[in-house]
Structure 1
Amino acid sequence: MIRAALSLFFAVLAVPAQAIEIQEVTSPGGITAWLVQDDSIPFVAVEFDFKGGASLDAPDKRGAINLMTATLEEGAGKRDSVAFAQAAEDLGARFSFDVSDDVLTVGMRALTQNRDETAALLAEALTQPRFDDAAVERVRAQVQAIIRSQETDPQAIAAKEMARQAWGDHPYATSINGTAESVAALSRQDLVAAKNRVLARDRVVVGAAGDITPEELGMLVDTVLGGLPEQGTAPLPEPADLQLTGGVTVIDWDSPQTVVSFAGPGLPIDDPDYFAAYVANHILGGGGFSSRLMTEIREKRGLTYGVGTGLATGLYGQTWQGGMSGSNATTGQAVDLIRQEWDRMAQGVSDAELADAKTYLTGAYPLRFDGNGAIAGILAGMQINGFPIDYVDTRNAKVEAVTAQDVQRVAGRLLKSDRLRFVLVGRPEGIAATDPALTEVLPVE
């Protein structure tokens, strides 16, 4: 969940400083889409984002939406998986289907000359998926392989334990993949039910970029989405209450290194202090080799190859978090330094640190903003996050407006080391668990 939330927000923050013209389009069927029109090449990209994502799994059906999403391209209507793939190839079209805790994303890439046929084919995938036994079993096996792999991955083990402690009985607390048992039990009916919980017109946003007019986009949107139900069969998730407490959890793992995961309270994107936190995070641990944590832990002491932090801005819950790995023998020292730097942010930042952070955050042109596909994703992400349509024109000004006092204030509000939860997977030295150490690793959910 955390990686997905970070990637979604960073993709939105990737919009460059120069203005781009975004048009708001309303389809004849009443669906809103945002468009950046560009007829320089005969190609269009469209992204459809459905709010709720895998958090809309039914009780006791964890993993159903993930499995359903991965099977949407495995045949639709009269076409089995092979025929569907051949039809897309014949059109020169590309489809993508992905899901996170917050959003189910459907992507479409089409040549202008085949745009209408591509939209019709995608509509079949969304409204008439076959869920053939052979295809479902093939995808199910792939998911089960991922689950087995995570059971022996210290990073996944740490993430699982952190999520369990952070989110209680909210879907954020468990993996979108489900468990080996829950995935094995899913039937075709469960996949149909999962589709109806999330794929509906009342929870979709649309972003498009390329060779298409507003009128043509409106018709395309209705072609793709018009056959979906107006409302999903499940309500959108409730906000998650962060349940993390400060302390240390140790999961015994036979390795010369310890994986260190840490997290504390974050804040939502619409919080007035968000951009101050965004700048503060860059200075603390988000700025690579220029960050304080990298300077203290790697550059000065060589305790890790890399350490970083990020603002995990899920739609329904947020954390300020980070991670690293290092030798068992020096883990205690590294954790002490993380705590010290966490608290030191509230003492303020230098003019040079602030200026360097703002220069980077306003001046860097992220790789994600590269072509129509990336633009379509950014437009959809802006809507998911509730940004106004002029966000691309105002974003840099918001970063530039952050003062040293703003950074100090938000750090004093959120960056308190006694609220940090550390999850250590390994056999760390120089630090003790503040709750019973976990000597048996449970399967990753």
Structure 2
Amino acid sequence: MMPFPSYAAAKIQHLTSPGGIEAWFVQDATVPLVAMEFAMDGGAAQDPNGKAGVGNMVADLIDEGSGDLDSRAFHEHLDRRAIELSFSVTRDYFRGSLRMLKDNRDEAFELLRMSLTSPHFDSDDVERIRAQLISGLKRETSNPGSLASRKFLEIAYGDHPYGRPTGGTLESVPTITTADMKDYVSRVLTREHLKIAVVGDIDAASLGALLDRTFGSLPAKSKLVLVPDIAAGKPPQREFIALDVPQTVVTFGGPGIRRSDPNFMAAFVVNHILGGGSGSRLYREVREKRGLAYSISDSLVWMDHSALFVGSTGTRADRAGETVDALTREIRRMAQDGPTEQELAEAKSYLKGSRMLSLDTSSKLASAMLQYQLDHLSIAYMEQRNALVDAVTIDEAKQAARRLWGDGLLTVIVGRAPETAAQPVAAKPLKAN
């Protein structure tokens, strides 16, 4: 989509349709496009036990024929009008994305309505999608990054729903039935926890009518299984998976800080200093100083019931141990000493500027607006965000660093070098600053 520099300062409206459906909305007629992002509580955490991947299969299938259109006819309608419609699942949410030219908005919203309310789940389509998913899962069995990510989640969350892969497994996907998917749709695809963000060339009255027509006939209430809060597994822990591949992959991380935590913004800033790109400490220490890896980074991951920090890197098999030692030392140093005043100032400057630049299309702004709703933030958060970044003090950043990294790491190593699987020494207590 074309860039819209003004979107960074866009004024977000809180719209309520005549039927009571709420949305965050930015009206902009710069280009005749409309972008909508929406989400419903549920996601992969609502997959039944032993049936990991149900929500993911639903996301792949509800646009494969619905209403009076079979799969081919449905996609021909999308293609003919250049309508972009897609669905996905995260651990906590079933999400949808719709983009169209202004003149095609009625047909676009109607196709979305049909997908949500009358998916066919025809047997031929189900088996075709199932075969594609199984093929992808088989490829993952020889992909070191995929293996490392899966094992990391197992270590972090065990039997909790967050420990299951959202796309399912080679054992679970073949067992998923049409009845499983229809049950998921009836429980999850409802109006109760619906969040919507819309940006583009449409007025509030027209949008309200389209929202009622599209979502109004969904069930009013969800029937969700309770997902308990959980803290990620306590570091230090290390696992090794032997795989004959040219490059060893290392995934590392540990318990994070929840989005609602008062110390979250400090954690966000200090994590950028540690692992946020080519200017980070990990990048300098592991790549630039030692040449151990081409890239290394980590990020905070927050969910409704837990939080993580997760990072990854790849290195030569004979240097995997050295790489793990180097990143562990640097993370330990950050936990002990925290960032410098200069690092903090530079991180704030970058995070403020890059966020503004990242909101340069209708689609990106709609995605950000949806995420703010899912995070239970104020509609004014976009205007407040840079001030919150600026307000982080050096003491808060040091406190966040100690909380994130003071106990050490959960580490998964996948590759040829079994000696890297030696168990780590428990982290020593940190000295008080």
- Using structure 2 for the length normalisation, give the TM-score: 0.92
- Of residues 6, 14, 26, the one that matches 1:24 is 14
**Range 22-31 or range 361-370, more displaced:** 361-370
**Which runs of structure 2 are paired with 1:15-164 in the superposition (5 Å)?**
18-164=8-154
Matched, 1:250 2:240: yes
User: What is the identity, as a one-letter code, of the residue corresponding to 1:322?
Assistant: G
Q: What corresponds to 2:307 in structure 1?
A: 318
Task: Indicate yes or no: 2:201 matched with 1:211.
Answer: yes
Q: What is the SS of the residue equivalent to 1:321?
A: strand
Counterpart of 1:420? 409
Aligned to 2:219: 229
CA distance in 1, matches of 2:227, 2:356: 31
Find the counterpart in structure 2 of residue 340 from structure 1. 329
Instruction: For residue 54 of structure 1, report the CA deviation from its aligned partner.
Output: 1.4
Show CA shifts across 1:216-262 (max 9, x none).
22111111111211112324533233224312211122234321111
Compute the TM-score of the two structures, normalised by the length of structure 1: 0.89
State the Cα distance separating 1:71 from its structure 2 match.
0.6
CA distance in 1, matches of 2:159, 2:6: 39
User: What is the CA deviation profile of residues 194-231 of structure 1, one whole-angstrom value per residue up to 9, with x for unaligned ones?
Assistant: 21222111121000011112222211111111121111
Structure 2: segments with no counterpart, 5+ residues = 425-433
* Alpha-carbon distance in structure 2 between the residues aligned to 1:43 and 1:219: 18
Greater shift after overlay, 261-270 or 235-244? 235-244
Deviations 1:69-89 (A, max 9, x none): 101111111110111112223
Alpha-carbon displacement from aligned partner over 1:107-133 (angstroms, at most 9, x marks no partner):
122332332232122111110001111
Structure 1: distance between partners of 2:342 and 2:181:
54
**141-150 or 241-250, which deviates more:** 241-250
Letter in 2 for 1:363: G
CA contact (8 A) 2:61 2:121 kept: yes
The residue correspondences of 1:7-18 to structure 2 (distance < 5 A) are: 18=8
- Residues of 2 paired with 1:431 and 1:43: CA distance? 52
Q: Which residue of 2 aligns with 1:292?
A: 281
In structure 1, what is the equivalent of residue 429 of structure 2?
A: none
- Pair 352,245 (structure 1): closer, same or farther in 2 beyond 3 Å: closer
RMSD over aligned Cα, in angstroms? Answer: 2.0
Contiguous gaps of at least 5 residues in structure 1: 1-14, 436-445
Aligned partner of 1:410 in structure 2 is: 400
Paired position in structure 2 for 1:370: 360
CA distance in 1, matches of 2:103, 2:6: 30
Would the aligned equivalents of 1:48 and 1:206 in 2 still touch at CA under 8 Å?
yes
**3-state SS in 1 of match to 2:229:** coil
The residue identity in structure 2 corresponding to 1:350 is T
SS for the counterpart of 2:369 is helix
Matches of 1:378 and 1:143 in 2, distance apart? 29
Change in CA separation of 1:430 and 1:57 when aligned onto 2, cut-off 3 Å = closer
Q: Is 1:301 matched up with 2:290? A: yes
Q: In the superposition, relative to structure 1, how do residues 236 and 84 fare at CA in structure 2: closer, same or farther (>3 Å)?
A: farther
Q: Distance in 2 between matches of 1:381 and 1:130?
A: 30
Cα displacement (A) at 1:365: 4.8
Cα distance in 1 for residues equivalent to 2:396 and 2:355: 25
User: Percent identity of the aligned residues?
Assistant: 38
Deviations 1:360-401 (A, max 9, x none): 111125765232222222211110111110011110111111
